[in-house]
A = this chain, B = another copy of it.
């Protein structure tokens, strides 16, 4: 399978079909992820009221659940939307922000994983390790370390929960239990701006909206984000404010040519 060709095809499909991506996400990144959704070519909608999330997700092509500033009521809304998305076969991306940092975050992530069929979990190594029962250290929402490699964590998580998992870091690791991808795109500057992980969720969601295979969607979304990060950093240097602005420009400008020239993806059996 030519992954780079698939990524290009999916990106073109996003820009042609303009899928609606419904996010129930945290307050810190709502604007940033909505703009990232728009820049990649999809349409964002943010809606969290229990009175409307089921109706709203019904017109969407992908659903993002992000627990970054959770309360129990928001988790209720996420579960309602998720169950309706499952009925309609709409793919769901879950970001278990800060799982491992507090019981509420760990328990809420597990509750969603148990009650909703998630297509792709996207998190850092410590968050994913925690949910897979592997020892890890998280400081707030930042991964400090884990007792196993990202590859091991990803394989274990995918087999435990039966879904695709994407662990982002210096090298992004994606697995569906059968295959494992290592994506070496990206740039250190992505860690100097708040919410770039959250932005990668919506990009992955846009890919999942046009690609029924969660593994290729996750690989496509993260590769595209990583390349856009490299494009932005090439202009900004080590200025995080400038990088933030240029990252939107890059998400809007990234195309088949930049993906063909830049993609650094290795796929092997898990």
Contact call A252/B31, Cβ cutoff below 8 A: no
Count the copies: 3
Q: Which residues of B contact A241 (CB under 8 A)?
A: 39, 244-249, 252
A-side binding surface: helix, strand, loop or mixed?
mixed
Q: How far is the CB of A206 from chain B (nearest CB, A)?
A: 13
Q: How far is the CB of A248 from chain B (nearest CB, A)?
A: 3
Residue A126 lies at the interface, judged by CB distance under 8 Å to chain B = no
Q: How far is the CA of A20 from the CA of B101 in the complex (A)?
A: 12
**Chain A window 79-121, contacts with chain B (Cβ cutoff 8 Å), 1 for yes, 0 for no:** 0000000000000000000100111110000000000000000
Q: How far is the CB of A164 from chain B (nearest CB, A)?
A: 25
Residue A34 lies at the interface, judged by CB distance under 8 Å to chain B = yes
Which bracket fits the contact residues of A? 35 or more
Contact call B26/A46, Cβ cutoff below 8 A: yes
Nearest-neighbor residue (CB-CB) of A44 within chain B:
B194
Q: How far is the CA of A91 from the CA of B23 in the complex (A)?
A: 33
Contact call B193/A38, Cβ cutoff below 8 A: yes
Q: How far is the CA of A26 from the CA of B22 in the complex (A)?
A: 15
Contact call A69/B48, Cβ cutoff below 8 A: yes
Given contacts A35-B194, A193-B35, contact A71 B45 (CB under 8 A): no
| Given A18-B139, A51-B71, 5 other A-B residues pairs in contact with their CB atoms under 8 A | A29-B31, A43-B142, A48-B71, A56-B102, A241-B249
